[in-house]
Amino acid sequence: MDDNVIRAMAKWPNVPAVYGWLNLDRRGNWLIKGDRIANRGVTDFIGRNYAADENGRWYFQNGPQRVFVTLEYTPFIVTTKDDPAALVTHTAQPVDRVSGAWVDESGSLILRWAGGIGVVNDRDLAAVSALFGDVHGKPLSDAALGKAFDPQTRRHATGVYFAYAGNRVPIGRIQAGEVAQKFGFDPAPRPAEGEPDC
């Protein structure tokens, strides 16, 4: 978090939180009341001051005020920045050793690493597919990938592995509606009963 934000929090500790104004879409865009924030300085500031509370509610600490974020899917959006060997989040944090990977019924790829959980930006899926392989690390044909990721398949395992940063993990299956509960985050924070909000 920025030093000036930390100082503001100490100076004004009881500022009511904001709910329902700030959203994160599936491509890593910040939106205020549905309008995309285009100013790079503002989006970088939000990214540097983005965190989660003890209840898995993600927020942007705007000076002394906590602005809770409504998530379209996951807390982080993962992108290649033109290099699938160096994945980063929408907040410009590097994705380190991936410890889990899942594909949902729509074909979205969800990754877990020490820093969090995120969905790969759909625009980067083709590039990231270069990191897929079989149990022996060999590349898969398009036909094999299509069969492995067929949403009608009932098996939990896809038979596909995700190799990144010297680690290989099997890609499992997950339903989009299960992601928030499985990974312990609240996609739509709301104030507790009696809690003031702006």
pLDDT digits (tens, 9 = 90+) for 129-188: 999 999 999 998 888 888 888 877 766 778 999 999 999 999 999 999 999 999 999 999
Largest CA distance in the chain: 60
Beta bridge partners of 79: 88
What predicted TM-score, i.e. pTM, was given to this entire model? 0.90
Fold adopted by 3-72: duf1285 like fold (3.10.540)
pLDDT digits (tens, 9 = 90+) for 89-115: 999 999 999 999 999 999 999 999 999
Distance separating alpha carbons of residues 159 and 156, to the nearest angstrom: 9
Q: Where in the chain is the domain with CATH 3.10.540.10?
A: 3-72
Residue 37 near residue 29, CB atoms below 8 Å? yes
Residue 127 near residue 134, CB atoms below 8 Å? no
Indicate the helix (H) or strand (E) that contains 180: helix 179-183
β pairing state of 18-24 and 65-71:
parallel
Distance separating alpha carbons of residues 107 and 115, to the nearest angstrom: 23
Distance separating alpha carbons of residues 185 and 91, to the nearest angstrom: 17
